[in-house]
Amino acid sequence: MISIQNISKKYGAQQVLNKVNLEFSGGQSIALIGPNGSGKTTLIKSILGLVLADQGQINVQNQDISLGPDYRKIIGYMPQLSKFPEQMKVGQLFSLIKKIRRDIAQNEYDLSLYNDFGIAKMEGKSLGALSGGMKQQVSAALAFLFRPKIIILDEPTAGLDPISNSILKHKVNEARAQNCLLITTSHILNDLEEMCNHVVYLMDGKIVLNEEMKFIAETTGEANLNKMVIKFLQTGKIAKCKI
């Protein structure tokens, strides 16, 4: 579904992405991890067209994304910090976005997160008055609203309470089962463990690990993603040589 070819991006003198190559397909749930400043958000923003890469090409469903914005019709995005226009009401936000997305009929909306998070009760509140977690809920509900085939979640669970957290995880797993592609970044690896089946590790703008989670677990003999990743990175080169 997404093919990233040789993407590079520089901010000033800093090389944020360095010749990144990735192929993602439906049914994959990618855990995109890496230290702070490793280029995770920049990579995501390049896919979304918010950041324009200096080099390389990104194809979404075999279509070069630089050719037009229509590819974003199948992408749902939940940003890292959900920032919205302060004075706009939650209800207004939803109706505005629905107005923009006329391509999706009213009866096709996916309202499960909208209902589960109780967003109807927030409709009259202005977005500036919502707490960080509530904004995340709104943002998650919006990301899934138009039944996207590709869902990109940037630090989705950071501000969510435990119940909302498990609702979101459930939703992610459901979407994966429906053959959607999900890309999630997080520093909370426990959360990723429950939602993802593939790990991509970025460091200094380069991919150092791109494997099925099952494979990593088998090679390292660890059950915990945190330990898996550390062990795999230490022994990764050796393990690859053996295969």
Partner 1 sequence: MQNISFSIAADLLKNKAIFIYGLLLAVLGWGMFLIESQPEKTILALLQITLIVVPLMTSIFATIYYYNSAEFIQLLLIQPLKRRSIIWGIFAGLSSGFVLSFLVGIGLPLLLFYPTTASLHLILSGTFLSVIFTGLALLVSTHQQDKARSIGFVLLLWIFFTFIFDGILLWAMYQLADYPIEQSILFGTFLNPVSVARTLVVMQTEAAALLGLSGAIFKDFFGSLKGSFIAMLILIIWGILPYLFVKRKFLTRDF
Under the rule (CB under 8 A), what is the footprint of partner 1?
45, 48-52, 68-73, 75, 77, 79, 83-86, 88, 96-97, 99-103
Q: Is residue 57 classed as helix, strand or coil in its secondary structure? A: strand
Pick 25 or 87: Cβ nearer partner 1? 87
Closer of 41 and 164 to partner 1 (Cβ) = 41
In the block, which residue shows the tokens 């099952």?
214
Q: Which of 165, 141, 170 is nearest to 155 (CA)?
A: 165
- Min. distance of Cβ 155 from partner 1 in angstroms? 16
Three-class secondary structure of residue 58 per DSSP? strand
User: Taking the complex as a whole, how short is the minimal distance between the CB of residue 125 and partner 1, in angstroms?
Assistant: 16
Pairwise CA distance, residues 137 & 122, whole Å: 11
To the nearest whole angstrom, how small is the minimum distance from the Cβ of residue 50 to partner 1? 4
Amino acid at 135: K
Least separation in angstroms between CB 154 and partner 1: 11
- 119 vs 228, beta carbon nearer partner 1: 119
- β-strands 181-185, 150-154 pairing: parallel
Distance from C-alpha of 95 to C-alpha of 92, rounded to nearest angstrom: 5
Which CB, 99 or 242, lies closer to partner 1? 99
Residue 220 C-beta: closest distance to partner 1, Å: 36
Given a contact cutoff of 8 angstroms between Cβ atoms, the answer to whether 88 and 126 are in contact is yes
Pairing verdict, β 75-78 and 150-154: parallel
Considering beta carbons, is residue 100 or 243 the nearer one to partner 1?
100
